[in-house]
A = this chain, B = another copy of it.
Amino acid sequence: MTAVGFIGIGTMGRDMALNLLAAGHRVRAYDVVEGAAESLRAHGAEVAASIAEATAGADLVVTMLPDTPQVEDVLLGAGGVRDNPPPGGVVIDMSTISPEATRRMHAALAAVGVALLDGPVSGGPIGAKNGTLSIMIGGEAAAFEKARPALEAMGKTIVRVGDSGAGQTAKLCNQVMVGLNLQAVCEALALGRAAGVDPVILREVMLGGSAASWMLDKLGTAMIAKDDQAGFRIDLMLKDLRLVGELAFSLGVPLPGTALVTSQYLDARGHGEGGKGNQALFRVYDRMTNQEP
């Protein structure tokens, strides 16, 4: 049993905290949005009124937040985790943020005796709900071992990729694939549609061979049905693609495909689809082929 302080009770965070509770861990939940943590109480969580309350007595602190500034604020801001270090001495940030900012915060927390792991996840809301996330760890091996029991309640593939920041880097590589694999589904379905092939059959037959991907499997049906309800949101993917672009630029790695995909996501957001699920990227192809709904 791990005593977990869980900070950030959004779509993903909520399901992850529920899986911790279901596995028998203690969860003390905090969110800046008043009431967000409250709904977890019925499932056995304690609700913290502050970061200090969430970290008090914790073996492990988990953060699951939108972007780099929020993580910096929670970890290093006044009244934050640095000011209220958990007794267990381990924090894992499961948000997707800048690898370079991660390394800076890792150093800042090391100075007060806290090991910061980065542990961004892949698998989307479905994976969060089912506890089948892929978790990419950066940071000290010893801290990872302390965090492992809790992580096993939330994910299925849990791999320490390397030192601090390596988990975030792996996540950004992951998002490169996510974007291009989704682009692949868009182009294949657009071509098939124009040629008069039944998209449901097309998806099925493509899943059976070398074209198969998680994206075609999990989002293909929603794309065909024009069901754009949010799972993983266009806006959040664009945040990740911005981090990818910055990392690639700083390392001098040309990513022409990802750059193109980013343009298509910007097109989607420009048409008010930022709040929709990633499968709404197919709307860009509806427009390009003049097939608006």
Interface residues of chain A, those whose CB is within 8 Å of chain B, are 99, 121-124, 127, 133-134, 136, 156-157, 159, 161-162, 166, 169-170, 172-181, 183-185, 187-192, 194-198, 201-202, 204-216, 218, 232, 242, 244-245, 247-249, 251-264, 266-267, 269-272, 287-290
Q: Could you say which residues of chain B place their CB within 8 Å of the CB of A270?
A: 252-254, 288-290
Asked whether, in the complex, the Cβ of B251 is within 8 Å of the Cβ of A198, the reply is no
Determine how close the nearest CB of chain B comes to the CB of A288; give it in whole angstroms: 5
Q: A122-B211, A162-B196, A195-B247 are in contact. List 18 more A-B contacts (CB 8 A).
A: A122-B208, A133-B209, A156-B208, A157-B205, A161-B201, A169-B197, A170-B192, A177-B213, A180-B184, A191-B253, A211-B214, A212-B213, A213-B213, A252-B266, A253-B288, A254-B264, A254-B266, A257-B257
Bound CA–CA A160/B204 (angstroms): 11
Q: Could you say which residues of chain B place their CB within 8 Å of the CB of A179?
A: 184
Q: Could you say which residues of chain B place their CB within 8 Å of the CB of A272?
A: 290
Bound CA–CA A267/B255 (angstroms): 10
Bound CA–CA A37/B260 (angstroms): 44
Known: A181-B180, A289-B254. A174 touches B161 (CB 8 A): no
Determine how close the nearest CB of chain B comes to the CB of A287; give it in whole angstroms: 6
Chain B residue nearest to A256 (CB atoms) is: B263
Instruction: For the complex of A and B, list the 10 residue pairs with the smallest distance between their C-beta atoms, beginning with the closest.
Output: A157-B208, A122-B209, A134-B209, A259-B259, A134-B208, A180-B184, A254-B263, A177-B211, A213-B213, A256-B263
Q: Could you say which residues of chain B place their CB within 8 Å of the CB of A214?
A: 209-213
